[in-house]
Amino acid sequence: MNYHFVWSTKYRRKVLVGDVAETLTDLHVSIAQDKGFILNTQEVMPDYVHLFITAHPKFAPATIVKIMKGITAKKLFEQYPSLRNVLGEGHLWNPSYYVGTCGDTPKEVIQKYLETQKVM
């Protein structure tokens, strides 16, 4: 199954910049490899994340999000403790997220959309 995920930082704080963004990008790749997902495309914006993932149908979308958000938050807080102060309450991610499946839409259309996000 192909999924397009989007989630934002708590209070839409623009903390995903510089080294934090680079570390997050690497974490997404590492987690995907470890869990058997294919990370087709990703865009890390200052206050939100786009991921285009192919995963076996045995993984519910909610499970994929829980894995990605949980591990990245834990690792980023360990590596960048000052993030906790900026975000308050110690939560990196907003509890909500968007997920869309790619049925009739070709993967290339979604990948092109994600690649143009930083241009806007």
pLDDT of 18-72, one tens digit each? 999 999 999 999 999 999 999 999 999 999 999 999 999 999 999 999 999 999 9
Residues annotated as catalytic (active site), given as ranges: 113
Extract long-range pairs of 11-16: CB within 8 Å, 24+ residues apart. Answer: 11/87, 11/88, 11/94, 12/47, 12/48, 12/94, 13/47, 13/86, 13/87, 14/46, 14/47, 15/46, 15/47, 15/83, 15/86, 15/87, 15/92, 16/44, 16/45, 16/46, 16/47, 16/48, 16/49
Rounded to a whole number of angstroms, the CA Rg of the chain reads 14
pLDDT of 76-113, one tens digit each? 999 999 898 888 777 999 999 999 987 656 677 777 77
State residue 111's pLDDT score: 75
Query: 1 is written with which tokens?
Result: 């199954």
Confidence of residue 13 (pLDDT cuts 50, 70, 90): very high
Q: Which fold has domain 2-115?
A: Alpha-Beta Plaits (3.30.70)
Q: What is the DSSP string of 75-100?
A: HHHHH-THHHHHHSTT--B-S--EEE
